Structure formats: structure tokens, C-alpha cells
């Protein structure tokens, strides 16, 4: 039997995607290795960090399909990082283990459904029956408090450093889910709480933390729950692994979790 | 004209130093615009008009009764400014919830709804009712040498004398663990729940770098070789956070502490208030810290 190559995996990803491939993407490209590499196993993950790379190699997987970057900047511009010895260490390890890295980001978000949302809603226990419309990512749940909701999310994710803004005692029902850095603005009057991964605190397109603080001053219900970028989008890489497995039966495919990078001090 | 005695003369000359503020107080209060003009003259940085350091609300011609500086002009901070007798608020971060700082919503990310918005409206009303003037001071304040945000942060942490001669961002503290350093920061900066840490809690740390505000991965790449821990305001998770995590994986003895952006900028705006006392001697300048916006779920 002819060995499965990374190029063949990518071409099956493209043909199963259900939408045209956009070659203009700088994100969804090979970050290490190339199409000719023979694939023994596929690991999906969130960030292609060194820990995940090592664990994938240990598990006998030499193709990594991450959602995010490998070299600590979105464009994976190695000229920024190649002066740091860590870059060489990571690349040498991948070379020794005959690894290949192909990122899937832009096309994952364009695919329907977008697995990042499917995975996060599943992990947060936001049942589809509460979603106002398919793909709205808006859930109207039985009334709870912002504090209880944030605690519930943190427990379900096994997280340590979830952050929230707003009055913990505020009664909330209407939740808008965002993923990664695609955090919806909190000023939608139909929304009580935004839960998402990451957003710059101020000086951006819309600064939700200050808006929520002012809402609290005025007695208006608003809440903001930041899970962290990694754990918000990592969940959907499980769905991504299952989907890739469906058209690459020759090799094992699994999610390798990078987990939450943070802890919080006492 | 009555001749003055020697004793009266001595009294007059000795009161001169205190008489200056009295004379100034007698003068018309400076307007917000006049204060900004003085800042531009004394900042020591070439002024760039196309940045974010502009008036955000109120009439620049308003006579100023008192100045308040803050990392972020939240409604709570504006209320405290009014209580402190200040009507000119100088803020490091935006007032109207975006870099554009427009006083009404201009259309949210993801095509959210546009005006009217109860929170924008209430904030504008509060500013109008109290005749406040709000001006942003960020780009130019950060460019001063030594960086006043790092100086302020180090001083607040009690590390003022531990600074490196050549770089105010670098400090050598008595050795401690990452865990106890992080807890110490939490206490000293009145952080509720915004601090997050990457690294081994038991790591011994002594050499520290400060990166208040926001910073790109280039900053972390430049400083990590010199220090055990970087204490930053905020960074992007796909940049410096993953860089720190990979360094830990590779066995490098490095760590990263994120304070949150406004919490990291609070002390720098306290520095600003101190600096303004000379620039605007006629009225009182008060620093108003922003409370940590974040709490952690139980």
C-alpha cells in the first residue's frame, strides 16, 4: 500500500471542506516539513507548542494540524524569532522526528459548522436547544447569576485562571459565545454576557471591560467572561480530529491538548 | 508711601516662596487647553498630532479647578474625580470603549447594533452635567525617558532602588519563588483576580523585567535572555504566552506574569500626577487608581 503523505492529507482536507480553498491565506500553510513527508499519525491541537510537539512524537504521530501558530507570531514569520536558541531547539526536534506541521485556521472558521464554536459550546454545556438560531452562537439559558455561570464554565473546562468582569450577583440569561480572539462586543442590547477566549483589554475595536465596568456603575446587567485563547478554541480541535479521521482511515488521528497555559496566584 | 522697616522687608522676602502659589491662585485658572499646551512644551518628546493624545470630551476652553490622572476614565473614575474637585481628567486609556474613542457607538465588531446606547448616553451626560473635560495622554507619556510607567510600577512595588542603571525596566530583587512573587504583586497592586502566571511556581526568580501596558513578542524575545521573570500588563496569548510556555518546556528557567493592562498602568499615571504638579502648580492634581476589572470565579 502506498504510504499516506502530508500533501495527500491536505488535499483530502481541501476536498472535504465543502468550501473553496483560498490560496491567499498566509495562515493555512505548511509551517514545518512539506507535502512529501510520510504520515504515521495525525495530532490536532490548538497551539503548535513544544510540549504538544514532544507528546505527539512520543505517541508516534508525526503530522500536527494546529489551529494557531508554531513560532509565537500569527504569520509564523521566522525572521522575528530565529535569533532565539529556542527556535533552533524546536525546529531541530521536529527535524529529528520527521515531523510536518500544517495549520488550519482561516478555513476552519469558514467551514460550516465552525468546529471551534461546536466544540466550545459542547465543553461549556451550552445545549443546542438553547441556541436562538443555528450558528447564532447566542444561547438563552435558564436564569443564573454571572458568578455561578463563570464558576460552572471554569469547572467544566478544568481551568484555573478564568477571568470575569461584571457584578457576580447579576441575573443573566442571554449568552453570546465567541472563540479565540473573535470576541463579540458586549454592547449588544440583546446580550447579557459575552464568553470568549481573549481580547485586548483596551484601545481596540471595542473595549468590553471598560463598558462592563460602566454598566455596573449604572446598574445595567452586563458580564464578560474570558476563558483564555487556548482553552476556548482547543475544544473544537476534537471535532477537527474526528472529521479528519473520517477521510484518513489509514493512520491514527487524535487531539493532543496543550491545556491552559496559566495559573493564578493566591 | 510708607517706608518699610528692615523687619517688614525680611518678612516680605521670606514669604516670597509661598507667595508664588498665592499669586498664581489669584490668576485666572488655566484652561484645559492651556494645560495641554504646557504639557506639549515640557514633555520633551516631539509632539505628533495624529496620535491618540487628543481631547475626548468637554470644552478645552473650560477653566480647570483641579486635575485628575488615571489609567482609564471609567465612569467610576470620573465620579471620584468630581469628588476630588477635579474637572479635567487625563486618562491613559480610552474613555468611549475603543481606540477611536468616539462618543457614540460607531458600529460594533461583528456588525453589532449602532446607537442609541444607554451606557454611552449616561457617560456623556455625566461628563456634561459635571462640566468635565477629558484628554488622553498615552503615546507621548510612554515615550519619556526613563519610561514613567516602568518607573512608577517599580516604585509601587518597592523596587525603586533595585533598577538597572542602563534600563529602568530591569530590576534585580532578592531571590524568591515565582509563586510568592506573584502573590506579592497581587497584594501590592490591589489586584482582585486579573493576574495570570506562566511558569513553575517553585522557580527561583531574582532578575525581573517590567513591560507595563501592552507589548509584542519582540519585547519578550529581547528581555527573556536577561531575566528570570517578565512582569507584563497584557500580551497576546499566541505570542509571548506561548513563547514563555515553550521556554519552560525546553527547560529554560523563565516565567511570565500578566497583571492586566490597566492595573499595570495605574502606577505610571500616579507618576504622571507627580509630574503635573510642576506643570500645573495653580490647581491640585490627584491620581485616581482604577480597580482591577477582573475577578476569578470560585
Residue of A207, A217, A264 with shortest CB distance to B97: A207
What pLDDT is recorded for position A2?
76
Residue A3 DSSP symbol: P
* Closest CA in chain A for residue B252: A86
Residue A219 is assigned to a structural domain of this protein: yes
pLDDT higher than threshold 80 for residue A176: yes
Sign of torsion over alpha carbons A110, A116, A122, A127: negative
Bond before A137 cis per omega within 30 degrees: no
Residue A30 domain boundaries: 6-111
Residue of A89, A214, A265 with shortest CB distance to B250: A89
Q: What percent of chain B has pLDDT over 90?
A: 86
Q: Give the HSE-up count for residue A58: Cα atoms under 13 Å, Cβ half-sphere.
A: 7
Average pLDDT over residues B255-279: 98
What pLDDT is recorded for position B165?
87
Whether residue B259 contacts residue B156, with contact meaning beta carbons closer than 8 Å, is answered with no
pLDDT higher than threshold 50 for residue B23: no
Average pLDDT over residues A241-251: 98
Residue A250 is assigned to a structural domain of this protein: no
For residues B47 and B194, what is the distance between their CA atoms, to the nearest angstrom? Answer: 34
Q: Testing the interface with B: which of A31, A77, A151, A203 to mutate, by most B Cβ within 10 A?
A: A203
What pLDDT is recorded for position B106?
76
| pLDDT one-digit tens code per residue, A56-69 | 999 999 999 999 99
Which chain B residues are Cβ-neighbours of A182 within 8 angstroms?
110
Buried b (16+ CB within 10 A) or exposed e, A70-95: bbbbbebeeebbeebebbebbbeebe
Count the neighbouring beta carbons within 10 Å of the beta carbon of residue A159: 20
Is the CATH number 3.10.20.310 carried by domain B6-144+266-287?
no
Q: Which of A94, A111, A128 is the C-terminal boundary of a domain?
A: A111
Residue A240 is assigned to a structural domain of this protein: no
Q: What percent of chain A has pLDDT over 70?
A: 100
Average pLDDT over residues A8-31: 98
pLDDT higher than threshold 90 for residue B113: no
pLDDT band at B114 (very low <50, low <70, confident <90, very high): low
User: Are A59 and A83 members of one domain?
Assistant: yes
User: Are A29 and A131 members of one domain?
Assistant: no
Count the neighbouring beta carbons within 10 Å of the beta carbon of residue A40: 15
Average pLDDT over residues B2-18: 42
User: Are A46 and A88 members of one domain?
Assistant: yes
Whether residue A147 contacts residue A173, with contact meaning beta carbons closer than 8 Å, is answered with no
User: Are A214 and A187 members of one domain?
Assistant: yes
**Which residues partner with B196 through β-bridges?**
B258
3-state secondary structure of A81: helix
User: Are A55 and A123 members of one domain?
Assistant: no
User: Are A157 and A103 members of one domain?
Assistant: no
Q: What are phi and psi of B69, to 5 degrees?
A: -110, 150
For residues A63 and A102, what is the distance between their CA atoms, to the nearest angstrom? Answer: 8
Which chain B residues are Cβ-neighbours of A233 within 8 angstroms?
none
pLDDT band at B163 (very low <50, low <70, confident <90, very high): very high
Cross-chain Cβ contact B250/A184 below 8 Å: no
pLDDT band at B24 (very low <50, low <70, confident <90, very high): low
B6-144+266-287 and B148-259 share one CATH topology?
yes
User: Are A155 and A198 members of one domain?
Assistant: yes
User: Are A41 and A71 members of one domain?
Assistant: yes
pLDDT higher than threshold 50 for residue B109: no
| pLDDT one-digit tens code per residue, A101-123 | 999 999 999 999 999 999 999 99
> How far from the centroid of its chain's Cα atoms is residue A62's Cα?
21
Cross-chain Cβ contact B122/A218 below 8 Å: yes
Q: Which of A111, A130, A164 is the C-terminal boundary of a domain?
A: A111
User: Are A98 and A187 members of one domain?
Assistant: no
What pLDDT is recorded for position A64?
98
Cross-chain Cβ contact B243/A217 below 8 Å: no
**Out of A101-105, A178-182, B161-165, least confident range:** B161-165
pLDDT higher than threshold 90 for residue B116: no
Q: What are phi and psi of A242, to 5 degrees?
A: -65, -40
Domain segments of chain B: what residues?
Answer: 6-144+266-287, 148-259
Q: Which of A60, A82, A111 is the C-terminal boundary of a domain?
A: A111
As a whole number, the mean pLDDT across chain B is 91
Whether residue A216 contacts residue A166, with contact meaning beta carbons closer than 8 Å, is answered with yes
Residue A54 is assigned to a structural domain of this protein: yes
Q: What are phi and psi of B175, to 5 degrees?
A: -55, 140
Residue A239 is assigned to a structural domain of this protein: no
**Which residues partner with A30 through β-bridges?**
A102
Average pLDDT over residues A147-171: 98
State the nearest Cα–Cα gap between B89 and chain A, in angstroms.
16
State how many domains chain A has: 2
User: Are A119 and A225 members of one domain?
Assistant: yes
Q: Where are the beta strands (DSSP E) in A170-215?
A: 171-177, 193-196
Pick the CATH number of B148-259 from 3.30.70.3420, 3.30.420.310, 3.40.50.920, 3.40.1390.30: 3.40.1390.30
Residue A40 is assigned to a structural domain of this protein: yes
As a whole number, the mean pLDDT across chain A is 97
User: Are A96 and A122 members of one domain?
Assistant: no
Count the neighbouring beta carbons within 10 Å of the beta carbon of residue B31: 17
Residue of A90, A210, A215 with shortest CB distance to B246: A90
Average pLDDT over residues A198-214: 97
Residue A85 is assigned to a structural domain of this protein: yes
Residue A65 is assigned to a structural domain of this protein: yes
User: Are A15 and A73 members of one domain?
Assistant: yes
User: Which CATH number fits the domain that encloses residue A61?
Assistant: 3.40.1390.30
For residues A183 and A205, what is the distance between their CA atoms, to the nearest angstrom? Answer: 11
Cross-chain Cβ contact A50/B246 below 8 Å: yes
Q: How far is CA A101 from CA A49, A69, A172, B152, in A?
A: 11, 10, 42, 44
| pLDDT one-digit tens code per residue, B56-90 | 999 999 999 999 999 999 999 999 999 999 999 99
Looking at per-residue pLDDT, the higher value among B19 and A238 belongs to A238
pLDDT band at B1 (very low <50, low <70, confident <90, very high): very low
Amino acid at each position: 500500500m502506498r504510504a499516506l503523505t502530508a500533501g495527500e492529507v491536505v488535499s483530502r482536507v481541501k476536498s472535504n471542506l465543502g468550501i473553496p480553498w483560498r490560496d491567499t491565506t498566509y495562515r493555512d500553510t505548511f509551517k514545518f516539513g512539506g507535502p512529501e513527508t510520510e504520515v504515521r499519525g495525525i495530532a490536532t491541537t490548538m497551539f503548535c507548542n513544544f510540549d504538544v510537539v514532544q507528546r505527539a512524537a512520543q505517541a508516534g504521530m508525526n503530522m500536527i494540524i494546529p489551529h494557531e501558530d508554531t513560532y509565537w507570531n500569527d504569520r509564523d514569520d521566522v525572521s522575528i524569532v530565529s535569533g532565539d536558541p529556542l527556535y533552533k531547539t524546536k525546529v531541530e526536534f521536529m527535524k529529528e522526528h520527521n515531523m510536518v506541521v500544517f495549520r488550519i485556521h482561516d478555513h476552519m472558521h469558514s467551514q460550516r459548522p465552525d468546529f471551534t464554536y461546536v466544540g466550545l459550546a459542547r465543553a461549556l454545556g451550552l445545549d443546542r436547544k438553547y441556541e436562538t438560531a443555528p450558528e447564532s452562537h447566542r444561547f438563552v439559558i435558564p436564569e443564573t447569576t454571572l458568578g455561578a455561570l463563570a464558576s460552572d464554565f471554569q469547572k467544566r473546562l478544568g481551568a484555573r485562571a478564568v477571568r470575569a468582569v461584571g457584578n457576580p450577583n447579576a441575573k443573566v440569561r442571554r449568552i453570546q459565545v465567541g472563540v479565540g480572539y473573535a470576541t463579540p462586543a458586549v454592547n449588544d442590547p440583546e446580550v447579557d454576557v459575552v464568553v470568549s477566549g481573549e481580547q485586548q483589554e483596551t484601545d481596540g475595536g471595542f473595549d468590553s471591560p471598560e463598558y462592563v465596568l460602566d454598566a455596573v456603575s449604572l446598574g445595567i446587567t452586563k458580564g464578560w467572561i474570558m476563558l483564555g485563547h487556548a482553552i476556548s478554541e482547543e475544544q473544537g480541535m476534537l471535532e477537527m480530529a474526528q472529521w479528519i479521521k473520517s477521510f484518513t482511515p489509514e493512520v491514527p488521528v487524535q487531539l493532543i491538548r496543550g491545556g491552559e497555559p496559566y495559573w493564578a496566584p493566591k | 508711601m510708607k517706608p518699610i522697616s528692615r523687619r517688614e522687608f525680611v518678612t516680605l522676602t521670606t514669604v516670597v516662596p509661598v507667595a508664588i502659589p498665592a499669586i498664581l491662585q489669584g490668576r485666572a485658572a488655566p484652561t484645559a487647553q492651556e494645560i495641554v499646551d504646557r504639557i506639549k512644551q515640557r514633555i520633551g518628546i516631539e509632539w505628533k498630532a495624529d496620535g491618540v493624545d487628543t481631547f475626548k470630551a468637554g470644552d478645552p476652553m473650560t477653566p480647570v479647578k483641579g486635575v485628575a490622572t488615571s489609567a482609564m476614565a471609567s465612569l467610576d473614575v470620573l465620579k471620584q474625580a468630581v469628588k476630588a474637585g477635579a474637572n479635567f481628567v487625563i486618562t491613559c486609556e480610552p474613555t468611549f470603549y475603543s481606540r477611536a474613542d468616539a462618543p457614540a457607538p460607531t458600529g460594533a465588531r461583528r456588525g453589532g447594533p449602532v446607537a442609541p446606547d444607554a451606557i454611552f448616553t449616561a457617560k456623556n451626560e455625566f461628563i456634561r452635567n459635571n462640566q468635565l473635560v477629558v484628554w488622553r495622554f498615552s503615546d507621548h507619556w510612554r515615550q519619556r525617558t526613563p519610561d514613567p510607567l516602568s518607573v512608577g510600577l517599580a516604585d509601587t512595588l518597592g523596587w525603586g532602588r533595585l533598577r538597572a542603571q542602563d534600563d529602568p525596566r530591569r530590576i534585580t530583587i532578592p531571590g524568591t519563588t515565582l509563586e510568592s512573587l506573584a502573590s506579592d504583586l497581587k497584594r501590592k497592586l490591589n489586584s482582585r483576580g486579573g493576574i495570570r502566571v506562566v511558569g513553575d511556581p517553585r522557580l527561583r526568580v531574582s532578575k525581573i523585567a517590567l513591560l507595563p501596558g501592552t507589548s509584542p513578542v519582540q519585547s519578550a524575545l529581547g528581555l527573556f535572555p536577561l531575566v528570570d521573570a517578565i512582569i507584563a500588563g497584557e500580551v497576546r496569548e499566541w505570542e509571548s504566552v506561548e513563547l514563555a510556555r515553550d521556554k519552560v518546556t525546553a527547560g529554560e528557567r523563565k516565567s511570565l506574569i500578566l497583571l492586566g493592562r490597566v492595573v499595570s498602568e495605574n502606577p505610571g499615571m500616579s507618576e504622571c500626577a507627580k509630574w503635573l504638579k510642576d506643570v500645573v502648580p495653580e490647581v491640585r492634581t490627584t491620581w485616581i487608581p482604577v480597580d482591577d476589572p477582573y475577578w476569578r470565579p470560585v
